[in-house]
Amino acid sequence: MVNAHVTEPHDVVDLINTKRHAGELRPDEIAWVVDAFTRGVVAPEQMSALLMAIVIQGMGRREIRELTAAMIASGERLSFTGLGRPAIDKHSTGGVGDKITLPLVPLLASLGVAVPQLSGRGLGHTGGTLDKLESIPGWRAALSNEEMYAVLRDTGGVICAAGSGLAPADRAMYALRDVTGTVAAVPLIASSIMSKKIAEGADGLVLDVKFGSGAFLPDLTDAQELAQTMVQLGADSGLQTVALLTDMDAPLGRSVGNANEVRESVEVLAGGGPADVVELTLALAREMLDLAGFTDVDPAPALTDGRAMDSWRRLIAAQGGDPDAELPVARETEIVRAATDGIVQRVDARAVGVGAWRLGAGRARPGDPVDHAAGVEVLVRPGDTVRAGDPLFEVRCDTPGRLARGLESLATAVELGEAAPTVRPLVAGRVVA
C-alpha cells in the first residue's frame, strides 16, 4: 500500500513536461520515476504519458543507461559462477519463423558452453520460443531459480521464462507499452532487453537484431541504432556484447507456427533443415563460441554427428518434456496456390506472420491461448519460378472459422515478377562496442 504521508522528491508531471519539451531527465529523476512506478506512487496513466513523450522526443545515451540501471535495480541479480563453463546468452528482437533458439541452445551446450536462455511468449505477428516448446507434451517453461541452475548445470543449457524477480519494473512498463503504442522506440526497446540480460548475470551476450517487414523495426538504419545502443549498454555494464543485423523481410525457414517450428528445428539438429535456418544458427553459434573463448571450435560438425541432437533430448527431458512424443497436428489444412506464372520476388514476412496469428498460432493479448498445431508452411522462396496453380503456402488450423482470415492475409504475401530478384544476405552486419 502506498503511504500518502511520504513526501516524494519529484513530481511526475514535471518529468513528463521536461521530456515533452525535449529536455533531458537527470539520473536522480529517472531512478525515482522507475522506483515510484514500481511502488505504485506513479499511476499507470502518468507513466504512459512519460513513455509516449520518450517515444516522440527520444533519449540520450546517458538517459538510456540510467533507465536501464533503474530497471535492473528494481529486482534481483543472478550469477552463473560455479558452473565450470562460460555462460553465454543470446537474444533475438523477434521475427516470423525465428526458431533459432531451439537448435542453437543444444548445439552450444554440446560444445561446452552454458546457455541460460530466458525466453518469452509471442504477441501479434512474431512467435514466442516458449509457445513453440510448450507444444512438446510435458515440457515446462516456469522454473524456479534453483531449478534453472540445476538444469543448466546438468545439461549445459536451459530455456525458460524469466522469473518475476528479474527487472520487475520492465515487466510492468512493457505491459503499458504494449497497449499504448509505445513499443517500437529504440530507447525503450534497448533498456527493456538489456536490463533483463545484464541482471541475468551471463558472461557474454550475442544479439540478433532484425530488420525488414517481419521485424518490429523494419528499417535497417533503426535496427543499427538499436544494435549500437544495446552493445554500448552491455559494454558500460561490463557484459561482453556483440550484435548481428539479420534480414527479416522473408520468414526464416519454411515453418511458421509452434509445433511445426519445433519439427523444423529437430530437422536442423539432425543435420538437415532449411539453409537459412542452418546459416543463422551457425553464425550466432560462432559469435557465442568466440565470447566463450572457444575461438578454434567449429560448430557445424555437431549438427551432423549427433552431438547437438543428444543435447536437445537431454534439455527437453530435463524440463519434463518427452522428446519422442508426437507433436500436435492440425485437423484443417488448405493450399494457397499461385494465380499466375512468375518468379518469386518477395515473400512478405509480416503478412505470413499475421496469417499464422489469425489461424491461432499467436495471441492478441498476453494470456490468450495459442493453437500449437496452427501455422503456415512457406513452400516458395525468392527466386523460385512458379506456374499458375503451383502451391505457395500450406495453411494449418484446428478451428475452421479461422481459416478465412488467415487466407486473407496470405493472399498478397507473395510478389511475382518477370526477372530474378536481388537476394539480400541474411546477415547484413556486425556491431561491436
Residue 168 phi/psi, 5-degree rounding, is -60, -30
Per the DSSP assignment, residues forming a β-bridge with 334 are 395
Which residue has 515446462 as its cell numbers? 140
| Amino acid (one-letter) located at 397 | C
Give the span between the Cα atoms of 131 and 137, in whole angstroms. 12
Q: How far apart are CA 47 and CA 42, in angstroms?
A: 7
User: In whole angstroms, what is the distance from residue 316 CA to residue 269 CA?
Assistant: 13
> Active-site positions?
91, 170, 177, 192, 196
Give the span between the Cα atoms of 422 and 76, in whole angstroms.
48
At residue 236, the 3 state secondary structure works out as: helix
Cβ(88)–Cβ(204) below 8 Å: yes
391-397 vs 332-337, strand pairing mode: antiparallel
CA 279 to chain CA centroid, nearest Å: 18
- What is the rounded CA–CA span in Å between residue 376 and residue 398? 12
The DSSP annotation for 156-218 comes to: SEEEEEPPTTSSHHHHHHHHHHHHHT--S-HHHHHHHHHHHHHHHT-SEEEEEEEESTTSSS-
